[in-house]
Amino acid sequence: MWKLSSGVFMGWSLGANDSANIFGTAVATGVVKYGVAIALTAVFVMLGANLEGPKCMATVGGVSRLTQMAAFWCTLATAITIALLTYLAIPASTSQGIIGAVIGAGIISGTADFSKLYKIVVCWLFTPVAGYVFSLFLYRLLGHLMKTAKIGIARKNLFLATGLLISGCYGAYTLGGNNVANVTGVYVSSGMLSARLAALIGGLSIAAGVLTYSRKVMMTVGKGIVPLDPFSAFITMLSEALTLHVFTQLGVPVSSSQAIVGAVVGVGYAGDSRTVSKKMLVKVGLGWLATPLLAGILTYLLLKLTVVFL
């Protein structure tokens, strides 16, 4: 049972960190109160995790055959990697981390199935692209509708406020559905938990992170992101959620941060402005490569050590 602790820890840090992506801008600009935001996020993350979480679990565990010990080390290594990269202010994806870790474990046990990686990596590459495409399309479509339908500003204001709220809830839902596999997926393949139970525990740990530790990141991220107008913020969130939802159906856990980056670039392009700097893109690319590599190497080392000492 204690082996679940690393997963719970990872879920908690994922909740604390990623929830900023969802309601960050809304809270920082005062559209939604912090308390309301985290309550909604927690509820919808749980919903998403339990309803759609199991879909991605097979992918996470399927890359290599894991023992219960290996499952523990994988999540721990990933959690440490994420913590380290967060400290270095490099965006880190839990999805990529956990896959790297599982590969690392697989290399040791000799069960690493690299053929499964192709589908996963392709999905990773397409995540920001999907975010971009969705946001470009939605921005143009909804923008055109808003312009031609002569609604007064009071109505437009209400539409945007509810839009931000709903897209936030949807974002939380898809985050739970897509990323819970990163947290507890390894325990399913190593036989410790059923998919349902893993989803429940994973969802709870993420919700716990959201409720207890997300304030600081939410305020920093929310204020640091390009000050998007409410409409762009709405489109960005909706596109990110749609991207994650699509990849959940494909069974692959992807990075919500990268989906958002793609969406923000798309919104900027649609609005004829530069919303993302080259410097930021470089950092994102760095995180891309660094996360799975570091997690994999760390897992490999940790397992090797336990094999040596235990």
Partner 1 sequence: MLFSKYFSRGKKEEKVLEKIRSHIELLCKACELFSTALQSEDTGSMRAIIDLEREADGVKRKIISGIYEGAFLPYLRPDLCRFVETVDDIFDMLEDTAFNAMSIYLPHSIREESFRVAFLNSRMCEMLLITFDAMVEGEDLRERVLAIRIYEKKIDDMKFGILCDLRELAIDSYWYGKALSDFVTGLTSISDIIEDACDHLQIIHLSMR
Footprint of partner 1 (CB under 8 A) = 29-31, 36, 39, 143, 146-147, 150-158, 160-162, 165, 229-231
Which residue's CB is nearer to partner 1, number 206 or number 235?
235
Q: How far is the CB of 77 from partner 1 (least distance, A)?
A: 40
Which residue's CB is nearer to partner 1, number 128 or number 171?
171
Q: How far is the CB of 229 from partner 1 (least distance, A)?
A: 6
Which of 96, 50, 101 lies closest to 75, judged by CA? 101
One-letter amino acid for residue 173 of the chain: Y
Q: How far is the CB of 131 from partner 1 (least distance, A)?
A: 21
Which residue's CB is nearer to partner 1, number 115 or number 148?
148
Residue 186 near residue 109 (C-beta atoms within 8 A): no
Q: How far is the CB of 147 from partner 1 (least distance, A)?
A: 7
Which residue's CB is nearer to partner 1, number 69 or number 161?
161
Neighbouring residues of 104: CB distance < 8 A, sequence distance ≥ 6? 74, 77, 295, 296, 297, 298, 299, 300, 303
H-only helix segments in the chain: 5-28, 34-52, 54-62, 68-87, 94-109, 115-148, 153-189, 195-213, 215-224, 230-250, 256-270, 278-309
For residues 296 and 289, give the distance between their C-alpha atoms in angstroms, rounded to a whole number. Answer: 11
Q: How far is the CB of 255 from partner 1 (least distance, A)?
A: 28
For residues 190 and 64, give the distance between their C-alpha atoms in angstroms, rounded to a whole number. Answer: 10
Which residue's CB is nearer to partner 1, number 132 or number 231?
231
